[in-house]
Structure 1
Amino acid sequence: MDTIAILDYGSGNLRSAQRALERVGARVELTADPAVAIEAAGLVVPGVGAFAACMAGIDAVDGQRIIAERLDRERPVLGICVGMQVLFERGIEHGVQARGCGRWPGTVRALEADVIPHMGWNTVEPAAGSVLFAGLDARTRFYFVHSFAACEWTGSPDALLTRSVHGEPFLAAVEDGPLSATQFHPEKSGDAGATLLENWLKSVRS
């Protein structure tokens, strides 16, 4: 069985991501070892909390190089929540700008909504041809906890973009070749999240 590595850079939701992946049949290793993270069949980059703090943790374990080397070799990477946000060029939180990994152009910013954070279950509008959302009903809900998001896309026109709305439309998921990410937490989204992770695993193994 192929191993899925979860990048251990101090993020708080490592164990829940591990349990969710194991639930759908993955063999999972939590690691900060670049060699292990680069060579694993798939790599998950989780994230909770502040953009800048997550980037500091990623840099401390050479995470940008790990992600870059994997993508150069067309090896799958999945970002979750802030692990999605840091894939963009920059994040702005409370007036402070932080540099991201720059895998995608654009800025993560505060959502413009009457109620912040966006916390709880919400539907999404999957992109046509999505691998992550294959077999899921259009009314399926996923669990979100965030106050910031990427709302505009200026990256590859071939990327599959899934959106949701909380006050304004924002990117709920991106599928861009070997690099995929979700703003919601599949590991907290019950059976729907398990199906999404299983779909990702199938793409890793194909």
Structure 2
Amino acid sequence: MISIIDYGAGNLKSVQHALTTLGFESDIVSSKEKIIESDALILPGVGAFRDAMEQLKSMDLAETIKNQAENGKPILGICLGLQLFYETSYENGTWEGLGLLEGEIVRFRDDVKVPHMGWNTLIPHSDVNPEKGLAEGISEKDYAYFVHSFYAEPKNQDEVVLWSDYGLKFPAAVQKGNIYGMQFHPEKSSEVGMKLLKNFGELVT
């Protein structure tokens, strides 16, 4: 069972519909018990980093999510969910994240229109085996749908499996062991998004 974590900041039904279409069993959950019982987790997210972290803490979910991921349970972060995996965000202040990945969340420069919104190309990392992992079957001809003003600056760029370019090259998808993340919205990214969700589902079920 893949549990989609409901903390009031995500496009839950669309993600669940995509998983159902792909044949993966999922549930929308908001309790520690359900998170612990699940086989894999999805942390979606839209909105502000600080508000999302405060909501996770107020629901007593932040430490549970962190512990489950650190103990090896597969987890996928989508959009803001991916950003929450990192140590620090500089969105309207300085805020501490879950710390599952090393790095920071920073704002796009002022020489591009912010937020970055719409379709953009995916660029596979040159050192990543395209036959394995989250980015399997994805090429430079593929596009995904983005809506974000901030992006990850990972300490270890080898964790990036897909890049995109918006005035600068930024991580579009990351993978470190059991921790996966997509800056774009796979549930809004047509066949490419479905392929990526299928890759995740097949990796963890």
TM-score normalized by structure 1?
0.91
Cα deviation, residue 74, structure 1: 1.3
Distance 1:158 1:12, change over 3 A: closer
User: What is aligned with 1:16?
Assistant: 14
Letter of the 1:153 partner, please give it: P
String of CA shifts for 1:143-198, please: whole Å, max 9, x gaps: 00001011x3214x763432111111111111000000010000110111011001
1:183 alignment counterpart: 183
State the alpha-carbon separation in 2 of the partners of residues 38 and 69 from structure 1. Answer: 9
With 31-40 and 140-149 compared, the bigger mean Cα shift is at 31-40
The 3-state SS of whatever aligns with 1:38 is helix
Residues 17-40 of structure 1 show CA distances to partners (whole Å, capped at 9, x for unaligned) of 111111111111111111211221
Structure 2 gaps, min length 5: none
Letter in 2 for 1:176: K
Residue 101 of structure 1 aligns with which residue? 98
Q: Paired residue for 1:26?
A: 24
User: Offset of 1:106 from its aligned partner?
Assistant: 1.8
> RMSD value over aligned CA atoms?
1.5
Q: 1:149 aligns with which of 148, 151, 161?
A: 151
1:80 aligns with 2:91: no
When normalised by structure 2's length, the TM-score is 0.91
Structure 1 residue 133 corresponds to structure 2 residue 135: yes
The one-letter code matched in structure 2 to 1:179 is I
Moved more, 77-86 or 99-108: 99-108
Q: Does 1:5 align with 2:3?
A: yes
SS in 1 for 2:145: strand
Q: Structure 1 regions of 5+ residues with no counterpart?
A: none
CA contact (8 A) 1:119 1:143 kept: yes
Instruction: Tell me the matched-pair count.
Output: 200
Residue 118 (structure 1) aligned with residue 120 (structure 2): no
CA distance in 2, matches of 1:191, 1:83: 21
The worse-fitting range, judged by mean Cα deviation, of 45-54 and 27-36 is 27-36
Per-residue deviation at 1:12?
3.5
